[in-house]
Amino acid sequence: MRVHVRVPATSANLGPGFDALGLALALYNEVEAREADGVTVTVQGEGEGQLSSGAENIVARGVRLAFEAAGQPFKGVALRCVNRVPTARGLGSSAAAWVGGLVAGDALLGGVLMRDELLALAARAEGHPDNVCAALLGGLTVSCVDDDGRIAAVSLPVPDGLAWVVLVPATTASTAEARAVLPRSVPLRDAVFNVQRVALLLAGLQARRPDALVAALEDRLHQPYRRAVFPWMPSVAECARRAGALGCVLSGAGPSLLALVSGDGHAVARAMEAALRVAGVEGRAQTYTVDTSGATVLRVHG
C-alpha cells in the first residue's frame, strides 16, 4: 500500500495568543509513504540535503509512532517528502513533519486512530499543541492542555476578505533560542493585557470587525522580550502598519513575521521586504489564504 498526505504550514500565537492560538496556511508539505523493510527517506525542496534520510527523520518517527499507538509491528517505511514549508522559520515545519508522519502511518494502517489520538500523539512529540492542532485540524485553532496532559482544541472559521502576509527572512532561528529570552514570570497587568487582546482577537474575527483587530494583535507576553533576538522586528512591523496592515506579529518563535491585512496584501508585502532590507537582512514576503482542511490523505493506492 502507498499513501499520499498533505499537511499545511502553521503560524502560532498570532500576537497575544501565546501557546494557545494557531493558524493553518495554504502552503503545504507532502508525504508519500509505503511500507518497506527498513526506513528510507527522500527529501525534496526545503531541508533537502540537511534533514535526516533515515529513521531519525521526524516524518519517519511519526509513522513509527502511529504504528506503536495502534499496537501494530513496525518493519519500516519508504518516504518521499516534498517540503515547501521553510525550516527553522516559525512556520511549523516540525509540526508538519510530526503530523505528516502520524497521518501517513495511520493511513497505511487503514485509518484506525481517532483524530483526538493523533492530536495527543503529535502534541506530545512536538512538546506543545498550538502548531500541531492547526496542522491537523486546519483553520484558526484554539488549544489548551490540562494538568493531566489532555488536550482540548477547537477549529474556528476565519472570515474572508483578510490577507495573511508572511515575511520569511533569510536567517533562521530555533524555538529554544527564542524561548530562552522569555522571563519566568510576568507582571499581572501584562497577563491581563494579553487576556483582553486574545479575547478581542477571537471576537473581532468571528464578528467580522477588522477595526477591532488593530488593538487585538498587541502582545506583552513574548514579543517584547524576543526583540533581543530579532532587533529588526519593530521597524518591519511599523512599516507594515504604515502600508495598511491591521497588525504585524512574530510567527511562532520567529523569525518570520505575519501581517494581517483587510483586502489585498501586495503593498504590505513589499513594504515589509523593503524594511527588512534596510535592517540588513534579506527576505521574501508572500500572501497566503487560510487552509481549512488541515492534514489530508490525498490518495491511497492498494
pLDDT in tens, 62-101: 999 999 999 999 999 999 999 999 999 999 999 999 999 9
What is the reported pTM? 0.95
Percentage of the chain beyond pLDDT 70 is 100
AA letter at 203: A
- Check residue 176 and give its pLDDT: 83
CB 106 within 8 A of CB 112: yes
pLDDT of res. 178: 84
Beta strand pairing call for 162-169 and 76-83:
unpaired
Distances (CA, A) of 295 to 10, 134, 154: 11, 9, 15
Is the pLDDT reported for residue 273 higher than 80?
Answer: yes
End-to-end Cα, the chain, rounded Å = 5
**Does 55 have pLDDT greater than 90?**
yes
CATH code, residues 162-288: 3.30.70.890
For 112-168, what is each residue's pLDDT tens digit? 999 999 999 999 999 999 999 999 999 999 999 988 888 999 999 999 899 999 999
CATH 3.30.230.10 correct for 2-156: yes
Closest CA to 67 of 6, 98, 112: 112
Q: Where are the domains of the chain?
A: 2-156, 162-288
